[in-house]
Structure 1
Amino acid sequence: MAVDRENVLRVTRIYAEEAALELERGREIVARWPDADVVPVASHWQIPEVHGDEANVSRWVRIKTEALVLGVKKSVTTRVNGRSADFIAPSLSNGCAMACAYCYVPRRKGYSNPITVFANAEQILRHLARHVAARGPKTEPNQCDPDAWVYDIGENGDCSVDAMISENVRDACELFRMMPTAKASFATKFVNRDLLDWDPAGRTRIRFSLMPADTARVTDLRTSAMSERIAAINDFVDAGYEVHVNFSPVILTPSWLADWGELFDQLDSALHARAKAQLACEVIFLTHNESLHEVNLGWHPKGEQLLWTPQTQEEKRSQNGATNVRYRHALKGQAVAALTSLIARKLPYCRVRYAF
């Protein structure tokens, strides 16, 4: 289910910490929606009206559309990653206006998770600048990048949508534009063409998430259409971004491999030579969660017909101790091999950075 730019956010209520309103960035954000009610809150984590209340399941999408939370990030730390990026930067936001049925974030924060924007972006970016400077040049290539330290700046949200709310994302990209030893990175399911005017000078990597369109119509709710994401890649490459793709999540429907083959053909036909020359991908198979499954049954049961398939899934203990489900080990191993082989055949120029 695609959503256009005008309807992804129609903010009518801003829940704001007092400390956020005291910062210039916080005041700028409030000024963008002069007709919105500003509701004081003690903590951006504890707002029963928007998350943490089971009764909100029926209002899931409405909350994401109309509510915005404004807070101050208390813990400003950078974490080692080593898979998609070398490091996970401190978040400039948390939550999302989109409503992908498999999203892991609601498992942590509550039954709906609208965007929380952090007003102390200046503090966060100062921390990042110090962290990059302390690393010095990257001397050994790795799967993240051969030359630069890669920092994921959008782990807990979608930076393309966040850029419609504040200057946080642009300020981050401007910071990395001036850093020859590092680059920013974020995954996105939303095409925001305002970013084409930013002149990132190759220091920001955008990872467009792709999956077969028929599956996306059921699971990728309130996102840009798959055809729109694919069509944007050349333009973002031409604008100075490094553009990779995420083939994720891979969901094993009855026709999954044929559907992915069709998607790869569409991608190959759409990309120009410069886009192909710099392309790389990540392949991530579906991980689901029983608690999220129960939540989804309350607002989007159709999606669970694809996501919750106990006959093909087994329990998995995640790094943070949560119990999730993934495809059974032997089945997943066969599927990973089949999909990476298909990529090699249909997109031979596309380097697979990792697949799991």
Structure 2
Amino acid sequence: MPPATAAERLLEVRRIYHEPDIERWPRAVQVLERFPDAERVEVASHQDIPGLYGNPGGVERWVRTKREVLVLGEKRSLQARPNGRSADFIAPSTSNGCAMACSYCYVPRRKGFANPITVFVNIERIAGYLARHAARQGPKPEPNQCDPVDWVYDLGENGDCSADALVSDNVRDLVDLFGDLRGAKASFATKLVNRDLLDWDPRGGTRVRFSLMPEPMAHRLDLRTSRIPERIAAVNDFVEAGYEVHLNFSPVVVHEQWLGQWAELFDQVDDVLSERAKAQLACEIIFLTHNEQLHEVNLGWHPRGEELLWRPDLQEPKTSHSGQANVRYRAGWKARWRDQLTDLLAERMPYCRVRYAF
């Protein structure tokens, strides 16, 4: 028997919540036809689904919900928000939520409990908005940490585009769009190796950022994702297929053996990457930020991960811009650890430019 595909492993859709008159959108029809046996439940809004969002009992069905449920809705607010860190702009989302279950993910706490994939079906409007926005920018006046030449648009702030591509053609439409846009580039981070993307034609207009962490950490924290060796092995193939490929070393989780594990990971990456992949490589380094409410939720479905994520002896409180109670590593210690990790990277992978470390 052949191994299960990514779609078979992640999705067994049994229920689709959708807004009224959703079939007026061709993209909604595509998704409904892809999962013809799923129960359809009409809801007033994709943002307010009784029993799915804000339901404490949902913690017991965390992974099952991600596997069995999809949501279809319309993205009504279209705005490219300035960013300046990983990308110049955060593009309007074409999805929200994820089929994977990384225990540190910030997205579930926005809606409450398990957050399955929501597909925004008005892709034509989103793509049109992005094309007009990119055209208004004109040539980039000077290089920055996002890119030396192009304006960079992050497509996947609230989900994983590789997983979204298992459900609809939204991501492919945007990869095609940015392949034609002069002076603009799409970007998304992913923890899933979806080899269907290798058959597309990005024409250098899309940056894929494979997220990596040491395998022992990923085994505990990156649930329902592609294994770390599989992600590393995919880099060369995606470069050959016409993508720009960077790495996200994130989240960096500090523990007693953390620096040695990162040294092993850097050596593993160096051994696998082709010279062509190394020549175009850059990375982001992001240390863990956790959340008090998410910590309490995680204790109900994956407490072993919290042994690594919730470290009051190493962390300090930080109130987010939205008023949530977050924790991050203590500032003085984090600065020292960041320097240790970037020095280690420079030693083991001197060709890998650090776009930013946070």
Aligned to 1:174: 176
Aligned to 2:67: 65
Supply the AA of the counterpart residue of 2:188.
F
Aligned counterpart in structure 2 of residue 32 of structure 1, from 6, 13, 34: 34
Q: Which structure 2 residue ranges, 5 or more long, are not aligned?
A: none
Once residues 49 and 164 of structure 1 are traced to their aligned partners in structure 2, the CA distance between those partners, rounded to angstroms, is 25
Aligned to 2:133: 131
Once residues 179 and 320 of structure 1 are traced to their aligned partners in structure 2, the CA distance between those partners, rounded to angstroms, is 34
Aligned counterpart in structure 2 of residue 120 of structure 1, from 119, 122, 125: 122
Once residues 87 and 321 of structure 1 are traced to their aligned partners in structure 2, the CA distance between those partners, rounded to angstroms, is 23
Aligned to 1:202: 204
Aligned to 2:233: 231
| Paired residue secondary structure (2:313) | helix
| Paired residue secondary structure (1:18) | coil
Aligned to 1:89: 91
Percent sequence identity over matched residues?
Answer: 64
CA-based RMSD of the aligned residues comes to 1.1
Aligned to 1:338: 340
Once residues 3 and 96 of structure 1 are traced to their aligned partners in structure 2, the CA distance between those partners, rounded to angstroms, is 17
Alignment of 1:1-356 (within 5 A): 4-356=6-358
Once residues 260 and 301 of structure 1 are traced to their aligned partners in structure 2, the CA distance between those partners, rounded to angstroms, is 24
Higher relative contact order (CA 8 A, sep 6+): 1
Deviation string 1:47-70 (CA, Å, 9 cap, x unpaired) is 133221000001000000000000
TM-score for the superposition, normalised by structure 1? 0.98
Supply the AA of the counterpart residue of 1:296.
N
TM-score for the superposition, normalised by structure 2? 0.98
Q: Report the Cα offset of residue 4 of structure 1.
A: 4.4
Deviation string 1:203-229 (CA, Å, 9 cap, x unpaired) is 100000000000000000000000100
| Paired residue secondary structure (2:250) | strand
Aligned length: 355
CA contact (8 A) 1:3 1:222 kept: no
Q: Report the Cα offset of residue 319 of structure 1.
A: 2.9
Q: Report the Cα offset of residue 106 of structure 1.
A: 1.1
Supply the AA of the counterpart residue of 1:55.
G
Supply the AA of the counterpart residue of 1:326.
R
CA contact (8 A) 1:3 1:223 kept: no
Q: Which structure 1 residue ranges, 5 or more long, are not aligned?
A: none
CA contact (8 A) 2:292 2:327 kept: yes
Deviation string 1:247-303 (CA, Å, 9 cap, x unpaired) is 000001210000000000000000000000000000000000110000000000000
| Paired residue secondary structure (1:314) | strand
Q: Report the Cα offset of residue 21 of structure 1.
A: 2.4
Q: Report the Cα offset of residue 317 of structure 1.
A: 2.2
Once residues 136 and 18 of structure 1 are traced to their aligned partners in structure 2, the CA distance between those partners, rounded to angstroms, is 39
Q: Report the Cα offset of residue 329 of structure 1.
A: 1.0
CA contact (8 A) 1:191 1:228 kept: yes
CA contact (8 A) 2:7 2:166 kept: no
CA spacing shift, 1:301–1:95, aligned 2, 3 Å: same
Q: Report the Cα offset of residue 19 of structure 1.
A: 3.9
